[in-house]
Amino acid sequence: MLLLIAAIGAGLFVFTSPEFERSKPEVSLVGNNGYWNLKTPLVFQLDDESGLKSYTVTLKDGATSYDLGHEQFVEPKHDVLVRAEVPESVSQLKTNEVVITVEAADASKWNFLSGNVRKHEFPLIIDTKRPLVSIITNSYGIGKGGSALVVYSVADPNLRDFHVETKTGERFKGQPFFKEGFFVSLIAWPVTVDDFGATLVAEDEAGNVSKASISLYLKEVDYRTRELTLSERYLEGKIRELAQEYHETQGVEGRIEQFKIINEEVRAANESLIQETTSHVPDEMIDTFSINAMYPLRNGKILGDFGDHRYYRYEGKRVSESYHLGLDMASVKQAQITPQNGGEVVFADENGIYGNMPIIHHGMGLYTLYGHCSMIHVKAGDRVEANAVIANTGVTGSVLGDHLHFGVVVQGIDVRPQEWMDEQWIRLNITDVMDEAKERINRLGDS
């Protein structure tokens, strides 16, 4: 009887003691999506309740096995990170589908003291080739604050992402163009950036990266710095009125403080709404893009230029600043706004200092926006024809006199409207470049 009790007691002890735990080690592969370029080490995370005793990492390439690492621990170890690399002697694998096996044993006394063993297999696709990228053609140059077009090809069996990237980190997506594997991007040189450069970047699932720099003649454009004195009429009228409306200015009494918040915080929020609304690029294939020279206000006189760096003065001191990212045009009060290009209305609502503001997408990530309208005659989702009356000018938002704030946006970046108002510029920089790209692509197909 005593022996039996002792046996049951011993059994219970073994069953409940942490020294005899029965759970296998945990094994995971960190930050990997199933592809491997053989360059970046694989990182495995190993852990166990009672600590790890040993592990082995093996790569199986058909019939051949390679040891990628193994270790025996004198003391049980927790939270082990294993960085596995292919031995330097191996330069080429026989297949591009391999299996990595991680075997880990813990320090438990279970299993007649041999511990619990986890054997985990990770199938991986080996891809050591970088994407193939090539610039087919592009606009000859780009002006500061302006736009350009680039056509290129990208190919990789495991392509993950590609885009045109500027020196300052702006990214422009591509739209499929003309034939499989070719893409077109409109790109922009932000007016607030002095040093411009653009590179096509492509990356595959295994992390192989290719780059091709886009050769563009850089044209300096002179932009003005303007000193504007805040008038009593503006501060007491428009600013007081807007301060009541915006939540950012609730509880703020000082007129200059109100102005600063409206010109800085509210403006930033309004501009980020514009940026989000205008960042989409369609993914259906196109083979033409025809755009008419823009002049949305008949007999409109230009009152304020794009790219003006505005400083606002009060009692002789600069109190705030901003960049003017559109062209101000005025004719008669509540004049009809008639864009020369059709498209899809993507926004038609009030947007802070921009007032009532419709935005139209003309394709390829090219958008136009119309600020300070008194009335909008379209709604988001509408398709509008060229020369339709979409709105009337007005004084909504942060303005004094009736005018139109006309903006052109390329994938979220405000650009110089004058280029898109110039038929010859459009032909040389957009239409001709696309035609030339098609010719080159056709010739590539012949060879």
Residues that bind Zn ion (CB under 5 A): 326, 328, 405
Classified as helix, coil or strand, 429 is helix
Residue nearest to Zn ion (CB): 405
Give the nearest distance from C-beta 397 to Zn ion in angstroms.
9
Q: In the 8-state DSSP scheme, what is residue 87?
A: -
Q: Which amino acid is at 404?
A: L
The phi, psi pair for 201, rounded to 5°, reads -125, 130
Q: Of 8, 398, 441, which Cα lies nearest the Cα of 239?
A: 398
Q: Of 115, 54, 101, which Cα lies nearest the Cα of 80?
A: 54
Beta carbon nearer to Zn ion, 324 or 438:
324
Beta bridge partners of 142: 218
Give the nearest distance from C-beta 375 to Zn ion in angstroms.
18
Q: Which two tokens stand for residue 356?
A: 């009532």
Beta carbon nearer to Zn ion, 136 or 191:
191
Beta carbon nearer to Zn ion, 50 or 320:
320
Give the nearest distance from C-beta 302 to Zn ion in angstroms.
11
Give the nearest distance from C-beta 180 to Zn ion in angstroms.
43
Q: What share of the chain is helix, strand, coil (3-state, %, to 5)?
A: 20, 40, 40
Q: Calculate the alpha carbon distances from 125 to 27, 30, 97, 98, 204 in Å.
A: 19, 16, 5, 6, 12
Give the nearest distance from C-beta 255 to Zn ion in angstroms.
22
Give the nearest distance from C-beta 354 to Zn ion in angstroms.
8
Beta carbon nearer to Zn ion, 172 or 259:
259
Q: Which amino acid is at 157?
A: P
Distance CA 222, CA 194 (A): 11
Beta carbon nearer to Zn ion, 174 or 326:
326
Beta carbon nearer to Zn ion, 157 or 401:
401
Distance CA 68, CA 84 (A): 6
